[in-house]
Structure 1
Amino acid sequence: MDDARWITADQLATALTDIGLPTGGIVMVHSRLSAFPWIVGGVEGVMRALLTSCGPNGTITAYAGWEDNPYHLAGWPEVRQAAYRTGMPAFDPAVSEARRSFGRLPERIRTWPGAQRSAHPEMNLVAVGAQAAWLTRSSLDDDPWGPDSPLARLVEAQATILLLGAPLDSLTLVHHAERIATAEPKRWVSYEMPVTTDGGGTVWHPFSAIDTSRGAFDYAAITTGVDYIEAIARSALTAGIGRHASVFGAPCHLFPAHSLVEHATTWIDQRFGSAQTPPARP
């Protein structure tokens, strides 16, 4: 498996099945295709391999976000803020491009026939497959990381998280654990995004969510030199939650969503649990 120079979709599908990717369930994928030898058909070949391995009743999903979104608008120079205030197209789940920094797969899922996308402009999932509509069902004002979010449905559905050549700090689901952990106080951020009104116009809509840019807690105090998501992922692996596999020489990991979130929330609460009164949500 690890000596191939050119990988076909069928070969990749077989390899994914061999490492235990489940059939018929939901799989959230984080990918870094540069970790692999040449994949015939590029990201389309990867998508076809995932669909084949997961079967007709399976669902493939990824964190898409929004390319060039103004999440950090308040910290930009005034002239740049003005340009975005007047010129940034409104978020449209059917049109707005997935963030390129997340790799090529989210955009390929977004544009796949029958794809669904959740509503939040900054934290949205794209999905294809049997449970795509259920998984992505949401409204603009839902807490994108919270207990009723698409991420929570991944846990409810006993989904599998696949790191396909992607590093351990790619585990977006850890942010859901931050949100539902009982430890307080959490860092919150407020920001605005342009969205489409019912009449077809554009309005800058206010949002409030946990701080996923720095992290909801002061992780730097306890994870010096290591990204906190990677630290949590390694802790989970040590506890027997998830496993590593090599696929054509690329490092891959499989994590059960439910067990990963349970472990991550416990890890957070043990280190940041406090008797302090939680601050009011912005």
Structure 2
Amino acid sequence: MNNTEWITADQLGDALSDAGLPAGGIVMVHARLSAFPWIVGGAESVVHALLKAVGPGGTITAYAGWEDNPYHLGSWPPERQAAYHHGMPAFDPAISEARRGYGRLPERIRTWPQAHRSAHPEMNLVAIGPQADWLTRSDLDDDPYGSGSPLARLVQANATILMLAAPLDSLTLIHHAERIADAEPKRWATYRMPVRRNGETVWHPFTAIDTSRGAYDYATHVGAEGYIDTIARSALDHGIGRQATIFGADCHMFAAKPLVDHATSWIDQRFSSE
């Protein structure tokens, strides 16, 4: 599709359908809206476009995270740590802002009427649609990347992962592959975040695979692009996923299950004997 000066929600929705975005299922979207011509109505119009493309039976979801979350608190200067310990509001799935670094779309989905959000303060999804409640249902102490997590449900449903001009290294679902891969040892991260328990704010301990550096020592296996980009491009090279140009922007779509199967195999082949 050729570039134009601006695009509307209806035009983008039609373009997504023409590019092969399936209706009726779950679509997890990562978006870089600045790659497109001017979108009339901004992020709100993108949500309308996605809902049009997936239809009334479809569900859209995005990785939201939590703005200004204290994941790296242990490495901060003591004065900053103290300020967060005393002043950071507790995570509340209903009101805590999505992380701005993930773009404008997750926060717009989070604030959409009847949106749902999963419970983990660092790894949470926001979703709209008939499967949103099922997809995001979770507890604080659940493994946010493992079996039974919202990411695992994306695989169970064989959701479509839509990279709407987003870089391939933002493919969150690869972290689920890291978690379920057989290869050991894995890197783990332990941290605390403020949550509400029995009407009070408590700093709750969490343990999960290290997604900041990666669950494995990837340095000897990937280049400057990073391991998520490398795994995603390997999947494309093996016929998993496809590229589409939408209003001049380079986009990709992956089926969740084949992508995770390929990613776990890629990881196990390189790290099972190490």
Deviation, 1:10, is: 0.4
Q: Indicate the residue corresponding to 2:53 in structure 1.
A: 53
Which residue identity lines up with residue 57 of structure 1 in the other structure? G
The aligned residue for residue 255 of structure 2 is 256
Name the counterpart of 1:279. Answer: none
The corresponding residue for 2:85 is 85
Separation of aligned partners in 2, 1:212 and 1:197:
26
Amino acid at match of 1:50: L
How far residue 274 of structure 1 moved from its aligned partner, in angstroms, is: 3.1
Letter in 1 for 2:51: L
Determine helix, strand or coil for the equivalent of 1:189.
strand
TM-superposed deviation, 1:231: 0.2
Q: Does 1:215 align with 2:223?
A: no
Task: Quote the sequence identity (%).
Answer: 73
1:137 lines up with 2:137 in the alignment:
yes
Deviations 1:98-131 (A, max 9, x none): 0000000000000000000000000000000010
- SS of the residue corresponding to residue 61 of structure 1 reads strand
Distance 2:124 2:242 in 1: 26
Q: Secondary structure at the match of 2:182?
A: coil
The answer as to 2:86 corresponding to 1:97 is: no
Moved over 4 A (4+): none
- The one-letter code sitting in structure 2 at the alignment partner of 1:161 is I
Contact persistence 2:66–2:96 (CA under 8 A): yes
Tell me the distance in 1 between the aligned counterparts of 2:44 and 2:251: 19
Show structure 2 runs of 5+ residues with no match.
none
C-alpha separation between the residues in 2 aligned to 1:98 and 1:192? 18
Equivalent position of 1:29 in the other structure: 29
What is the aligned partner in structure 1 of residue 64 from structure 2? 64
> Residue 226 of structure 1: CA displacement?
2.1
1:114 is aligned to 2:109: no
Unmatched segments (≥5 aa) in structure 1: 276-282
Provide the secondary structure at the position in 2 that maps to 1:90: coil
TM-score (norm 1): 0.96
Please tell me whether residue 239 in structure 1 is matched to residue 231 in structure 2: no
Q: Number of paired residues?
A: 274
> What RMSD in Å do the two structures reach over aligned CA positions?
0.7
TM-score w.r.t. the length of structure 2 is 0.99
